[in-house]
Structure 1
Amino acid sequence: MENQELKQRELYRSRGYNDDLLPKTEQQRTWRAINYFTLWMGSVHNVPNYVMVGGFFILGLSTLSIMLAIIVSAFFIAFVMVMNGAAGTRYGVPFAMILRASYGIKGALLPGILRGGIAAIMWFGLQCYAGSLAFLILIGKIWPNFLSLGGDFSILGLNLPGLIAFIIFWAVNVMIGFGGGSVLNKFTAILNPCIYIVFGGMAIWAVNLVGITPILEYIPTGVTQNGNSGFLVLVVINAVVAVWAAPAVSASDFTQNAKDFRQQAIGQTLGLVVAYILFAVAGVCIIAGASIHYGVDTWNVLDIVQRWDSLFASFFAVLVILMTTISTNATGNIIPAGYQIAAIAPTKLTYKNGVMIASIISLLICPWKLMENQDSIYLFLDIIGGMLGPVIGVMLAHYYIVMRGNIDLNVLYTKPGDYKFYEHGFNTTAFVVTVIAVIISLGGKFIPLLEPLSRVSWFVGVIVAFGLYALFKGKTPRASIEKKPAGQN
């Protein structure tokens, strides 16, 4: 088996593929359940997710309904992560290569760039800037005069302390990105217990302040329920799951390291479910408890820790929040971007080249300027997320229904210009299905009649794409799918 794997890698290497994109050998697949258990904790407990919990209260749902919806979301997320990561586990290959099976050698570039290029790079820059604001709080706690350095100096609207904090935090994120999954796993192993201490401790702090009953009865000022409660719970579930649209698409970037399917399935399921149970309880208790205690709706955990009198407690809490931001940025943004950019030109670019290119672009887009118009940002990113749901649907239908869990790697790792399947390297059916699913799931943002569907856009996109692709391609013989177009050798 080992000699066969080495021969296979040498063959693909001779075709111009760099080692970062080659199938992992059995010796390289070392991740067990515990590695996946620790991996996702930091991606759940971050500032944007806690702000999102505050947004759920605006819907007028009860505290228990919100908790339940968040916990149920974890099972959907885990299911998609496990199932869409199965191909990566079986063949030891990253998302950029798995995507070729569904969309074609050339066709994979468009959804790949959408996920690993546009969405990942933009989110990477925004997360770096958001994290740098927390870093400024941390520095200000230790060195108050730092916040006044440079006087009126500013570059593109960013003052000197802000620029220094951003560059330092950006550089730390880039270094974690260079280290890839192995460094990230060590980082999250340290982070994991700190998350339990900080966010679990904050939940206990909030309950001790105001009591559990007021928290369970909390409703923000001036809020009344708008709509059917059952549908609103589904809206909350969709919102939580949609946050994982991008990581779920590229799950194979991490499952390619798994020792076997069972290890990644158990690890990801337990990791996500446990993380979201803690997040559901802690998030609701912290947001509701702090809002009641301070007499104003306070939905940002950074605003809460800034009010604390204890320097040590606020310092430690902000430090852990910074670490969770780094973890989120690595798993959801910079690592997928590195692999995808490398896949654009596999004979010339490596994973580390991809990380560097993505990092530089994230600087050039000046994320602090983009944050000035948050509505436009989130509309843009929401649309991209809505497009990735259908991509997941197509990938799942292709792997499980059409290919029945079997992929010929020689077809994926073809010679440049030698498109062994799909006419001209494009799977037209996949693109047509994706476009139809996107229109149905996101049409409500522009067509009032479809508005209810847009509120559960991720589910609609995945289900429609899966169903249509299975219908159109499910009866197509595999031989015809992998057959070379006429005129090719």
Structure 2
Amino acid sequence: MSVSYKDHPDLLPIPNDKRTTTGWQYVLMILSMAITTSIFFLGWISEILGLNLLQTVVAAFIGNTVVAIVMYLNGYVGVKYGIPFPVQLRPSFGYRGSLLPLLVRAIVSVFWYGVDGYIAAWAMTEMILVLLGKPPEWITANRLFYAPYTFIFYLLLVWIFGYYRITGIKYFDTVAGPLLLIFFGWFTFYMTGIPNMPGKMPTWTGGGVSWVSNAFFLAVAIQTAWWGTIALNVSDICRWNKSTSSLISGHVLGLIIPQIVGTALGFIATTLAGGNYSPIDIIAKYSPSAAIAFFGLIFAFMATASTNLTGDVPAATNAIIRITRLGWVKSLTIATILAWLLIGPYSMVNWKQSLDVADYLTNFNWYYSMWLGPIAGVMVVDFWLVRKKEYILDELYNIGPQGKYWYSGGINWIGVGSFLAGIIGEYLISGARGTIQFYYGIPVPGEELAWYYGFFISLFLYWLLALAFKEYALPEKYSKKQ
């Protein structure tokens, strides 16, 4: 295979004899990434939206099953060819056109770097305050005042870990996540026995909203968006897998089941606490002793921080590397500074109560998902329907006008146009329904299911255009380039 000198070594395909990840290892990998403190925030958000426990579980099942399917469809490419996300984008968007979805993924990665980092810093703040002997009421009243400053310290630690490429944290990640889930499961059970709690133990069907309400659709949308990011670049993770069958077990056992369990636990615990406190707060507030609160917060901090280090930080840094061609340290520094700029000042001004953070997480996931759905739709239809599960591996690395995936100046206008049409379609649907919203003066589609609208609009349009312009869409089949 002739590989262009322009390609970074990290973008080269992984040969079959170099694959090291087994099915169970992949399950543990996905499981460790899924279980963080933020998983319980999903249940809290559903409680705030007014869902009952059954609706919360169903929303989690729908959202995560859809994501798991897309992860399988995109991950299949990574396992079959051993290629990473940027290379996988080349047939559907073109070599230069792929910079557009890469940029979108980079922006979302940096946001998640900051969001998960802030949640880890939040847990660290309460952990320190417990260690200093502050009473629970004082901690839950003042922790968000100190969290932005802890966040700066936390980002500095993350930068140091990244600078020295300390990889041992990934082994702790596989332990910290399950420990947090076990602890929070026990803690939720413990809370059910505390007398005079602000809220009552929720029943499966008590209360709730309409199954076709905006609140229920929004819960589904948030569950979809939570892992909708990884659904795009899952090949970066699974291209080391030995078999495509590992994708099914990995996504069912490592993603769908833990997300449902974590969401349900978060819903029950925050309902018992009255709905005004985050899962982090209730550990500090309702633990039977300061020692248990401290260790619970350690689990919360380490599970979130280790996932931040092994998932969010590399994703954000590598995205910047692939766009700018800068080195690791410079890209890591840029990602870290951007993560603080996007979250730090905003948190100081706007996050006074836990509910402020919950509102941000709700809008944040909802709004960014509108960009991810169309990308996923283009990627899925290109490989599975247009090219019938076949890429020419050599041509993925044949960069320039002589390459069969070069299209028009390096841009596949069918892919780029279908992506943009998906975004425009979301706005048109929202405009027709009168649901356009303004976020800091920026109009955004006020449609809870924007990810789904964008996914299917882009998918079907790409498919139709590829059928109409076969010679352009399938250069490997019709082009005479040698």
1:488 CA displacement: 8.3
Residue by residue over 1:255-294, the C-alpha shift from the partner in whole angstroms, topping out at 9 and shown as x without a partner, is 1121121123322221112212321331222112222xxx
Question: Is the CA contact 1:411–1:482 (under 8 Å) kept in the aligned structure 2?
Answer: no
Mind listing any 5+ residue stretches in structure 1 that lack a counterpart?
Answer: 1-7, 146-156, 292-296
**TM-score, length-scaled by structure 2:** 0.82
Q: CA deviation at 1:143?
A: 3.7
Question: In the alignment, what sits opposite 1:242?
Answer: 225
2:338 to 350, 354, 361: 361
1:337 to 304, 316, 327: 316
- In structure 2, the CA distance between the partners of 1:219 and 1:328, relative to structure 1 (3 Å rule), is farther
Cα displacement string for residues 339-382 of structure 1 (whole angstroms, at most 9, x for unaligned residues): 3223225xx5455654343224334x262202234778975664
Q: Following superposition of structure 1 onto structure 2, how do residues 403-414 of structure 1 map, counting pairs within 5 Å?
A: 403-414=387-398
Alignment correspondent of 1:149: none
Is 2:369 the counterpart of 1:397?
Answer: no
SS of aligned partner of 1:384: helix
What SS does the aligned partner of 1:423 have? coil
What is aligned with 2:278?
300
2:131 corresponds to which letter in structure 1?
Answer: I
Is the contact made by 1:95 and 1:250 (CA closer than 8 Å) also made in structure 2?
yes
For 1:81, which of 66, 71, 83 is the aligned residue? 71
Q: Contact (CA 8 Å) 2:471, 2:479: kept in 1 or not? A: no
Residue 201 of structure 2 is matched in structure 1 by 215
Task: Please report how far the alpha carbon of residue 468 of structure 1 lies from its aligned counterpart in structure 2 after TM superposition.
Answer: 1.7
Residue 267 (structure 2) aligns with: 284
Q: 1:181, 1:257 → 2: CA distance?
A: 20
Give the conservation status (yes or no) of the 8 Å contact 1:287–1:299.
yes
CA 1:390–1:125: 2 relative to 1, 3 Å? same
Match of 2:120 among 108, 113, 131: 131
Question: Amino acid of the residue matched to residue 345 of structure 2?
Answer: K
In 2 relative to 1, CA 268–169 (structure 1 residues): closer, same or farther, beyond 3 Å? same
Q: Does 1:102 align with 2:95?
A: no
Cα distance, 1:321 vs structure 2: 1.4
- Pairing partner for 2:299 from 295, 315, 320: 320
- Residue 71 in 1 paired to residue 55 in 2? no
Closer/same/farther in 2, CA of residues 190 and 48 from structure 1, 3 Å limit: closer
> What letter corresponds to residue 369 of structure 1 in structure 2?
P
Letter in 2 for 1:133: W
| TM-fit CA distance, 1:338 | 2.8
Shift of 1:484: 11
Q: Which segment is superposed worse, 60-69 or 250-259?
A: 60-69
Deviations 1:356-409 (A, max 9, x none): 43224334x262202234778975664332111110000000011111111123
Alignment partner of 1:170: what SS?
Answer: helix
Distance 1:377 1:281, change over 3 A: closer
Please identify, of 391-400 and 466-475, the stretch whose mean Cα deviation from structure 2 is larger: 466-475
Q: Normalization by structure 1: what TM-score?
A: 0.81
Q: Is the 8 A contact 1:107 1:427 kept in 2?
A: yes
Partner of 2:50: helix, strand, or coil?
coil
Distance 2:20 2:256 in 1: 23
Q: Partners of 2:260 and 2:53 in 1: how far apart?
A: 14
Contact 2:116–2:304 at 8 Å: present in 1 too? yes
Alignment partner of 1:439 is 2:424:
yes
> How much has 1:187 moved relative to structure 2?
3.0
1:190 offset after TM fit, Å?
Answer: 1.7
Q: In structure 1, what is the Cα distance between the partners aligned to 2:196 and 2:60?
A: 22
2:246 to 258, 263, 273: 263
Which residue of structure 2 aligns with residue 471 of structure 1? 464
* CA contact 2:210–2:216 (8 Å) conserved in 1: no
Letter aligned with residue 300 of structure 1:
S
Q: Does structure 2 retain, via aligned residues, the 8 Å contact 1:342–1:351?
A: yes
- Following superposition, the deviation at residue 300 of structure 1 comes to 0.2
CA–CA distance in structure 2, aligned partners of residues 429 and 180 of structure 1: 39
**Distance in 2 (alpha carbons) for counterparts of 1:409 and 1:234:** 40
Deviation sequence 1:287-333 (CA, Å, 0-9, x none): 12222xxxxx3340121112134122111211121123224434653
What RMSD over aligned residues (CA atoms) do the two structures have, in Å?
A: 3.7
- Give the whole-Å Cα distance in 2 for the aligned partners of 1:137 and 1:27: 47
- In 1: Cα distance, 2:159 partner to 2:79 partner: 26
Distance 1:215 1:60 in 2: 15
Written as runs of structure 1 = structure 2, the 5 A alignment for 1:133-152 is: 133-143=122-132
Cα 1:182–1:470 shift into 2, 3 Å: farther
Instruction: Tell whether the 8 Å contact from 1:386 to 1:457 is kept in structure 2 after alignment.
Output: yes
1:405 is aligned with what amino acid? Answer: K
Report if aligned partners of 1:63, 1:215 keep a CA contact under 8 Å in 2.
Answer: no
Residues 1:122 and 2:111 aligned together: yes
Deviation at 1:179, TM superposition (A): 8.4
Tell me, yes or no, if the aligned pair for 1:59 and 1:232 is still in contact at 8 Å.
Answer: yes
Query: What is the Cα deviation at residue 181 of structure 1?
Result: 12
Once the 2 structures are TM-superposed, how far is the Cα of residue 131 of structure 1 from its aligned partner? Answer: 2.0
State, as a whole percentage, how many aligned pairs show the same letter: 23
Distance in 2 of aligned mates of 1:478 and 1:181: 48
Check 1:279–1:442 CA distance in 2 against 1; reply closer, same or farther (3 A cut): farther
Number of residue-to-residue matches in the alignment: 454
> Residue in 2 aligned with 1:154?
none
Write the letter of the residue equivalent to 1:104.
Answer: G
Q: Which runs of 5+ in 2 are unaligned?
A: 135-143, 351-355, 437-444
Tell me, in whole angstroms, the C-alpha distance in 1 between the residues paired with 2:473 and 2:111.
Answer: 39
Spell out, residue by residue over 1:178-222, the C-alpha distance to the aligned partner (whole angstroms, 9 max, x if none). Answer: 6889756423322233123212112211233369994234999xx
